[in-house]
Amino acid sequence: MAAEIQQLHFVLFPMVAPGHMNPIIDIAKLLARRGLIVSIITTPANAARIGSTISPALQIHLIPIRFPAAEAGLPDACENIDSLPSLEMSYKFITAFDMMQNDVVRAFEQLQPPPSCLISDMGLPWTTQLADQFNIPRMVFHGTSCTSLLTSHHKNANRAEAPYSSDAEATKSTVMKKVLDQVKAAEKTSYGVVVNSFEDLEAECLKEYSEVKGGRVWCIGPVSLCNVDISDMAGRGNISAVDVHDCTKWLDLHEQGSVIYAALGSLARPMPEQMMELALALEESNRPFIWGLGGASSPALEGLFVQSGFTQRTRDRGFLIRGWAPQLVILSHPAIGGFLTHCGWNSTLEGITAGVPLATWPFVGDQFTNEKLVVEILGIGVSVGNKVSVMWGEEEKAGVFVAKDAIKRALIVLMEEGAEMRTRAGELRDKAKMALTQGGSSYSRLTLLIEEIKARF
């Protein structure tokens, strides 16, 4: 049987955004560690970005396909959504991916052994036809929770678009509506859905969502737990903006559970004035903190840090990361006592698997659903109270939408009154690890998926 399984060849095709690529790469590692051959279709720049994070001992092959950025109206070097100044141009990524279809087909024709299964991003609905062409099943990957997927199903989120005031906006609306229609149609004919979650985390929603999907749902997460070594955790996603050892040395200086970690995701770009509200809340919490500024780092913000005296006042208890933070390394350190997060599903799961309670600050979309899961259902978080949906690229319109005192209040509750939350978070951490071990729910679901695909050949 092992020899047969080794001939199975799974092809993974993520959207080029960190929140989509990272879990797909983790899924590739899980499959390869079961002895399967795995290929990841991506673009040259993204292949260079992730190549060093994959052990040569695993049978994972990167297949770079030229990304037609210029033809789609994107800057030449723009091959990942996190390199865009705003989401205004994100629909052009979808256009560019559509232009890749012929090259992807040619790449599929050359794969050896031939592909057995395709796991592709929900934003690539045309891959359903690709799978049909090669007579293999296509699994959909959304990158969010069962709770969010079930909520979207109930809302039937095929709403009419609001009227736009310009030809460019009308074009964007037309493209996005067309894609959403294609996504829904493609999912209906796909083999099933792969979800980065685990049964004990959202059992009721998983049960109901699975019923909606005719039992074709495979919860195989939290997939980030496949990164065990510090080198794997440090290299995940992008090159860290700081030396990982400097980061851990700083954390080593602090008592267990005493440090706040704050990070609002790779795409959010709050205005400098809003970031100053967060800066002052961290300062006034009177706790040591490590802050991943991500894409919000800017000369304007640095100017406010210096002008306000924040940099000087917090130099002995604040560690700022200006760019990509090695989040898995940070969260796994025993000094971390709380995580202020935007509630993206990857970050939410990473906090849960580290056993760290969360202060929740959602910005848009499923982040609000994830907050509800964390705060109201799981009881492992406290909300900063944001009710304003802020699209990436429209932060200037929102201005300051969460005040310092609201953030500070949540941080104090998290760090000083969160004993029960911390206990529940620790229990979920242990259940998450159990799910990925042999005999656990996620391990078993992945086994069933592999066996089901094997039975087709």
The more confidently predicted of residues 295 and 55 is 55
User: CATH fold of 240-431, please?
Assistant: Rossmann fold (3.40.50)
What is the average per-residue pLDDT within 329-348? 97
Terminal alpha carbon distance of the chain: 12
CATH number listed for the domain at residues 2-220: 3.40.50.2000
What is the pLDDT at residue 173?
61
Model confidence at 274: pLDDT above 60: yes
- Listing DSSP states for 390-457 in one string gives --TT-HHHH-S-S-HHHHHHHHHHHHHS-HHHHHHHHHHHHHHHHHHSTTSHHHHHHHHHHHHHHTT-
Instruction: Note whether 161 and 91 are within 8 A (CB).
Output: no
What is the pLDDT at residue 156?
63
Q: Which of 42-46, 133-137, 179-183, 404-408 is least confident?
A: 179-183
In the chain, where the domains are located? 2-220, 240-431
Confidence at 267, pLDDT banded by 50, 70, 90: confident
2-220 and 240-431 share one fold: yes
What is the pLDDT at residue 215?
94
Q: How far apart are CA 65 and CA 213, in angstroms?
A: 32
What is the average per-residue pLDDT within 338-347? 97
Q: pLDDT by residue (tens digit) across 49-87?
A: 888 888 888 999 999 999 999 999 888 888 888 877 666
What is the pLDDT at residue 164?
35
Query: Which residues are paired to 381 by β-bridges?
Result: 358
Label residue 159 exposed, middle or buried (CB < 10 Å: 0-12, 13-18, 19+).
Answer: exposed
**Mean confidence (pLDDT) of the chain:** 89
What is the pLDDT at residue 49?
85
What is the pLDDT at residue 176?
66
Q: Of the ranges 255-269, 391-405, 431-445, which is most confident?
A: 431-445
What is the pLDDT at residue 163?
37
What is the pLDDT at residue 399?
75
What is the pLDDT at residue 157?
46
What is the pLDDT at residue 166?
37
Instruction: Using the structure block, give the residue that is written with the tokens 């499959």.
Output: 31
For the beta carbon of residue 454, count every other beta carbon within 10 angstroms: 16
The pLDDT > 70 percentage for the chain reads 92
What is the pLDDT at residue 168?
46
What is the pLDDT at residue 181?
84
SS3 call for 65: coil
What is the average per-residue pLDDT within 107-136? 96
What is the pLDDT at residue 3?
45
What is the pLDDT at residue 6?
47
What is the pLDDT at residue 83?
79
Instruction: Note whether 157 and 365 are within 8 A (CB).
Output: no
Q: pLDDT by residue (tens digit) across 144-201?
A: 999 999 999 888 644 544 333 334 455 556 666 777 888 888 889 899 999 999 999 9
Instruction: Note whether 193 and 142 are within 8 A (CB).
Output: yes
Question: Looking at the chain, how many residues does it have?
Answer: 457
